Each structure stands twice: as structure tokens, then as C-alpha cells.
Amino acid sequence: LKRCQISMDMHHIEKSFHRIKNTIQMKDVFQNVTILSASETLYNITPSDVCCMTKDVLGLYVDKVFRNHEESDPRIQRGLSTIANSFLHIRNALEQCKNQRNCDCQKEATEKFQIIVGNYEQMEVKAAAIKALGELDILLSWISRNYRPKATT
């Protein structure tokens, strides 16, 4: 991610998710199923594939996950809006970075992303969306690990 030099407000995104996490995760009735399946996919991505995987996974969330979840509680709406707009900003910046050939996908990363998409599409649309929203803590901690803010003074 460092090659793409993107400013990410990870602290604020994580804070927004933390506020709504319990409410979201309680709506997930398929506890023994996973979409991001962290151990097999995200957490053994090579550093050179991190950028492309981030772009693709954020794209999945922007294009499908947030859209397929209808929310009436303004508090949850606000939290999800912060995350969705932040993801949109980051994804758009990574797309530009890709155009400058700094964020290309290796075969292995593409295959791993397809595992995630496969997991998502196996579930009913609304259940998949709520499951993916509930797994945002997995995604956010993975992104934070790969985008280390500068050391504090």
C-alpha cells in the first residue's frame, strides 16, 4: 500500500465500526460460515499483492455489500456511511494507482479474491451482506496491519 501513498483515516473508520459492531454482528444468523475466511485468504497474502487485494475487496464492499444491506437505524446508517464513503475514497485512489501500474494483481491474489467472492455468492444476498459487514473487523485490522501509521512522538 505504501507504493500508492494513500491517506487512510483508519482510526476513524475503526472507531465508526466499533460503535455499530455488536448490533451488526447480532443480525448474522450464520455463525459457522465465513466470507473473508481470514486464515486462508487475507492473512497469507504476499506484500506485493496487498494493494491489489485491498482494491478488490474494497470494491466488493462498495459495489455489493453496502448496497445489499438496508438499514433504518440512523445510528447504524451513519456508521456504515462513514465506512462506505471512506472505502469509496480509498478504492478510487487505488484504481488510479493501478492505472499507473503500481497495484497489479498476481495470479495467486486473484485466486484468493475469487475464494472470497465465492463465499459471498454462496449465501443469500441479504445474509451475505450482513455477514460481510460483521466481518469488517477482520478486514480493517488486515488493512491496518498493511498500512502502518507513522510512529507517534
Segment 47-106, which members bind other proteins (CB under 8 A)?
Answer: 62-63, 66-67, 74, 77-78, 81-82, 84-89
CA angle 100, 103, 109 (to 5 degrees): 150
Segment 133-152, which members bind other proteins (CB under 8 A)?
Answer: 150, 152
Amino acid (one-letter) located at 99: N
22 binds other proteins (CB under 8 A): no
Amino acid (one-letter) located at 44: N
Other beta carbons within 10 angstroms of residue 72's beta carbon come to 6
- Distance of closest approach, residue 152 Cβ to other proteins, in angstroms: 5
Identify the CA nearest to 90 among candidates 140, 15, 145.
140
Residues within the interface to other proteins (CB under 8 A)? 7-9, 11-12, 16, 62-63, 66-67, 74, 77-78, 81-82, 84-89, 150, 152-153
